[in-house]
Structure 1
Amino acid sequence: MALKATIFKARLQIADMDRDYYAEHLLTLARHPSETDERMMIRLLAFAHNASEQLEFTRGLSSDDEADLWQHSLNGEIETWIEVGVPAEDRIRKACGRARKVLVYAYGQRTAPVWWEKMESASARFDNLQVFFLAADECAQLAALAERNMDFSITIQDGHLWVASGSENIEVLPQRWK
């Protein structure tokens, strides 16, 4: 019998001073049985970092043809394609061909730098690609906040993300690799 996804609910109060975006989002996240709390929380952070009314989670790990998050224009074209982790070059190529903007949130203290060393030269031809790296300690702190019902206040300023939940406050600074 196949394992089912675990459902998480999140309330995000976002104050993004870099983009002048202020909103509250009530989200439902389905965590695939093979997905870790760390990866799910990075998906949530990527949502907050790029939040808009049109940005949405996809089937993610369940589908090879979809991003982890994406945003469509009113005519159905993919405006933003967001990947979490260290995607293969062919996946990035496909995303860059289909979307106006592609964002990768890489993590993993050992795997991400090795992946980027291989991908950096190949990524130069993709003008619509941006790559961010999240430090292991920040990812671990985010993972520790994972609960079935979550309530976060997220402030974004000068590229820094401050995530507050109850008495916990975490600062996340995505390093821009490209």
Structure 2
Amino acid sequence: MALKSTIYKADLQIADMDRHYYADHALTIALHPSETDERMMVRLAAFALFASERLEFCKGLSDVDEPDLWETDLTGAIVQWIDVGQPDDRRILKAAGRAEQVRVISYGGRASEIWWKPVESRVARVRNLTVLNLREGCAAALAGLAQRTMRLQCTIQDGQMWLGDAASEPVLVEWERWREPVARSS
């Protein structure tokens, strides 16, 4: 018998002063049986960082043809493809051909650096790729916020993100920008 996902609910208030995006989101997040609280909360932080009215959680680990999050336009075209973790270069290349923007949020300290070294050269030609690496310890701090029902506030200003609830200190979510999209020359 297959294990079922555990369902988490999050009321997320976002005040993104960098993008002038202010919204409340009622989210349902499925924690895959093989997924950790760390990974789930990094997915939630990725949602907050790139939030839009049409951004949604996907099947992710349960379906190799879907990212962790995506945003589609009204025609069904993929605007944002967001993967969390360390996807292989084939997955990134496939995503780059399907989406306007591809974003990868890696975490895991030294393991992320080891993953990125060979992948970086293989995706060098991808023009629509952003790769962010969470600072070491950040994912573990985010996991400390995980509860089956969450009420979280997220503030983003001057390239810094704070995520927290009323019961604990907010977590500073910091990242290094390993890759930015390449501007098209005219």
**Class of the TM-score when normalised by the shorter of the 2 chains:** over 0.9
SS in 2 for 1:10: strand
1:7/1:28 contact within 8 Å kept:
yes
2:145/2:164 contact within 8 Å kept:
no
CA-CA distance at 1:174 after TM superposition: 1.7
1:82/1:104 contact within 8 Å kept:
yes
1:12-36 CA-partner distances (Å, limit 9, x unpaired):
1000001000000000000000000
> 1:124 is matched with which residue?
124
1:83-117 CA-partner distances (Å, limit 9, x unpaired):
00000110000000000000000011121000111
> 1:176 is matched with which residue?
177
> 1:150 is matched with which residue?
150
Query: Pairwise mapping of residues 56-71 of structure 1 onto structure 2 (< 5 A)?
Result: 56-71=56-71
CA-CA distance at 1:123 after TM superposition: 2.1
Q: Distance in 1 between matches of 2:117 and 2:27?
A: 35
1:41-93 CA-partner distances (Å, limit 9, x unpaired):
00000000011110000111000000100000111100100000000110000
Q: Distance in 2 between matches of 1:46 and 1:170?
A: 14
1:106/1:133 contact within 8 Å kept:
yes
SS in 2 for 1:161: strand
> 1:163 is matched with which residue?
163
Give the TM-score of the pair, scaled to structure 1.
0.98
1:80/1:102 contact within 8 Å kept:
yes
> 2:183 is matched with which residue?
none
1:159/1:174 contact within 8 Å kept:
no
Give the TM-score of the pair, scaled to structure 2.
0.94
Aligned AA (1:103): R
SS in 1 for 2:46: helix
Aligned AA (1:76): G
1:105-152 CA-partner distances (Å, limit 9, x unpaired):
001112100011111122220010000000231111101111100111
Aligned AA (2:130): Q
Structure 2 unaligned blocks of 5 or more = 180-186
Q: Distance in 1 between matches of 2:158 and 2:117?
A: 27
> 1:91 is matched with which residue?
91
Aligned AA (2:103): L
SS in 1 for 2:143: helix
Query: Pairwise mapping of residues 133-144 of structure 1 onto structure 2 (< 5 A)?
Result: 133-144=133-144
Aligned AA (1:176): R
Aligned AA (1:63): D
SS in 2 for 1:168: coil
* RMSD, matched Cα: 0.8
1:73 equivalenced with 2:90 (yes/no): no
